[in-house]
Amino acid sequence: MLKTHDLPRIFLLSLLLWFSPLLQAEQESAAFTQAAALFAEASFDKTGEAIDLLAASGDPEVVPYLQALLDGKLYQHEEQGTLVIVADGASTDGLRKIPTKNSLRRSLRAAIGQLSLSSPDASVRLTSANGLLETITPDMAPQLRGLLDKETDPAVQEALSLGLAMADLNAAEQPVRLAAIASLAGNLNPGVRNRLTTMTTDSDAAVAKAAQAALKTIEDRAELYGYAETLFFGLSLGSVLVLAAIGLAITFGVMGVINMAHGELIMLGAYTTYIVQQLMPQAIDYSLFVAVPAAFIVSGLMGILIERTVIRHLYGRPLETLLATFGISLILQQLVRTVISPQNVPVSNPSWMSGSLEINSVLSLTYNRLYIVLFCLMVFALLYFVLRKTNLGLQVRAVSQNRAMARAMGVRSARVDALTFGLGSGIAGVAGVALSQLTNVGPNLGQSYIIDSFMVVVFGGVGNLWGTLVAGLSLGVVNKVLEPWAGAVLAKILVLVFIILFIQKRPRGLFPQKGRAAGD
């Protein structure tokens, strides 16, 4: 229960709490006033003192002023002496720019980093901790240890621990330096690698040897992540090949048609993406969700039209089919040049496909390629379900394995041929949507992938989806593994030679089609 004699004490406490912000603001104002007076003397030494004074205040509010000074945007009013941050393009009449030099810029970065470490935002603290690595000194270690004891965010804790180890590299005691080198072995931070590189020529032989060993561990780990990056790029290239070839695997496997217009069906899918984005410019982030079904319908209907008007009259004559579809490919290319543009057209990446997923400082996975890999697996799974679990899929497999027997069992092979060609063409259009996010969209887009698509189909086994998936991914990885030492062109030649030799031994590919008439 509140007693009467407690009232004066409560009153004094209330006054103290009420006045404390005012006292703090007055102290901050005093720090700015003193700093402004030092800046007014137009001396680099006095500017350095002003920076130290603002940094010593411990007030995060001074960070914008220090950052403006670092960026060359801090000015001082010539008459009033107040500090002004000037935006780009703003008038500087009556203002004097405060100059800096390299040594002052180093001090500014260190001061900004230390002040930002007290920010309530964990991302700001993390950025500051990482930014201090290049300028950290042993005298900053006590402050970092105090911050580390109070830090709750794991990423910031790791960055502060790294900063302490970097500070210990400059310690006078040999055991401290050796312990710091041992703790940094395997760390992939560029600042760590640069610092250890300079220490490999240290006058202390033990320190130089330890630095060399730690640097070797880092280089081995970086090389391992380099292999992982090559594997990722190979899988992304393989996913593109699978998307481009999987539709061809269906049409070629079921009907035995060498469709040279398959690349142009991919191109139509890419142009469908462009048109969709032109129709919904304010919703680019959602355009692909519309473009995928639209491209499937456009390319699928075009495939059915080609099959019904041309290919159905040429079954059993592969040479005439090849020539006819090659002519159709030229017609489609010219149609696009006439109706849309002979030049490449711009297709934007949605924001969620931009940027990269950073695993560490030496390995990052670009989102567009990561989504292409996932998209390829989704298309494959959906197509596999259609061919294995639906009535259409059953009829397609029956016709591909033994056309005569399927007809005898009542399967309408002409209808199956049309639907199968439309399905394969629609998948080609979907592949075009994916390719529009990786490469230029132009009339010649399909020509770049038609040969690769046939290689994947033949290598994997005609008409076999699993063969197409394995062949496409493996060829993509092999291509990327060979490129660093053989070059892009020679790598493709080597892959082609390998496929030719492989087909000599296994003419029906990795996973040959099964059935009584599959080998005909």
List, for residues 175-204, the tens digit of each pLDDT value: 888 888 888 888 888 878 888 888 888 888
Together in a domain, 364 and 488:
yes
Together in a domain, 285 and 420:
yes
In a domain, 424, yes or no: yes
Per the confidence metrics, is the pTM higher than 0.85? no
Residues 6+ apart with CB under 8 A from 309: none
For residues 318 and 250, the answer to whether their CB atoms sit within 8 Å is: no
Distance from C-alpha of 517 to C-alpha of 399, rounded to nearest angstrom: 10
Among the candidates 83, 116, 149, a domain finishes at 116
Phi then psi for 320, rounded to 5 degrees?
-65, -35
Among the candidates 94, 116, 138, a domain finishes at 116
Given this model, what pLDDT does residue 88 score?
A: 77
Q: Quick one: 296 exposed, middle or buried, by C-beta within 10 A (0-12, 13-18, 19+)?
A: buried
pLDDT grade for 418, boundaries at 50, 70 and 90: confident
CATH number at residue 427: 1.10.3470
Mean pLDDT confidence for 292-301: 92
Residues 6+ apart with CB under 8 A from 159: 126, 129, 130
Residue type, 221: R
Residue type, 316: G
Residue type, 138: P
- In the predicted structure, residue 116 carries a pLDDT above the cut 60: yes
Given this model, what pLDDT does residue 211 score?
A: 87
Given this model, what pLDDT does residue 123 score?
A: 75
Number of domains within the chain: 2
Among the candidates 116, 133, 148, a domain finishes at 116
Distance from C-alpha of 387 to C-alpha of 384, rounded to nearest angstrom: 5
Distance from C-alpha of 405 to C-alpha of 74, rounded to nearest angstrom: 85
Percent of the chain with pLDDT over 70: 87
In a domain, 213, yes or no: no
Residues 6+ apart with CB under 8 A from 44: 99, 100, 101, 104
List, for residues 456-475, the tens digit of each pLDDT value: 888 887 767 888 888 888 88
pLDDT grade for 297, boundaries at 50, 70 and 90: very high
With residue 132 as reference, give the H or E element that holds it: none
Question: Facing residues of 74 across strands?
Answer: 85
Together in a domain, 260 and 397:
yes
Q: Is 74 helix (H, G, I), strand (E, B) or coil?
A: strand
Mean pLDDT confidence for 267-277: 91
In a domain, 135, yes or no: no
Percent of the chain with pLDDT over 90: 7
Instruction: Give the Cα-Cα-Cα angle 435, 440, 445 (nearest 5 degrees).
Output: 70
pLDDT grade for 517, boundaries at 50, 70 and 90: very low
With residue 75 as reference, give the H or E element that holds it: strand 74-77
Number of H helices, E strands in the chain: 20, 5
Top mean pLDDT of 18-27, 49-58, 114-123, 366-375 is at: 366-375
Given this model, what pLDDT does residue 14 score?
A: 46
- In the predicted structure, residue 71 carries a pLDDT above the cut 90: no
Residue type, 296: F
Mean pLDDT confidence for 105-114: 74
Given this model, what pLDDT does residue 137 score?
A: 67
Tokens of 232: 């990722």
Tokens of 269: 């899918």
In a domain, 379, yes or no: yes
Task: Give the E-state strand segments of 347-434 in sequence order.
Answer: 356-360, 363-366
Mean pLDDT confidence for 506-517: 66
Together in a domain, 241 and 376:
yes
Q: Give the torsion through C-alpha atoms of 148, 152, 153, 156, to 10 deg.
A: -10
List, for residues 481-509, the tens digit of each pLDDT value: 888 777 777 888 888 888 888 888 887 77
Together in a domain, 465 and 346:
yes
List, for residues 214-267, the tens digit of each pLDDT value: 888 888 888 888 888 889 998 988 898 898 888 888 877 667 778 888 889 999
Average pLDDT, the chain: 80
Together in a domain, 349 and 493:
yes
In a domain, 218, yes or no: no
For residues 400 and 463, the answer to whether their CB atoms sit within 8 Å is: yes
Mean pLDDT confidence for 9-15: 43
The DSSP result for 20-49, as a single string, is HHHHHHHHHHHHHHHHHHHHHT--HHHHHH
- Expressed as residue numbers, the domain containing 100 is 25-116
- In the predicted structure, residue 411 carries a pLDDT above the cut 80: no
Distance from C-alpha of 23 to C-alpha of 16, rounded to nearest angstrom: 10
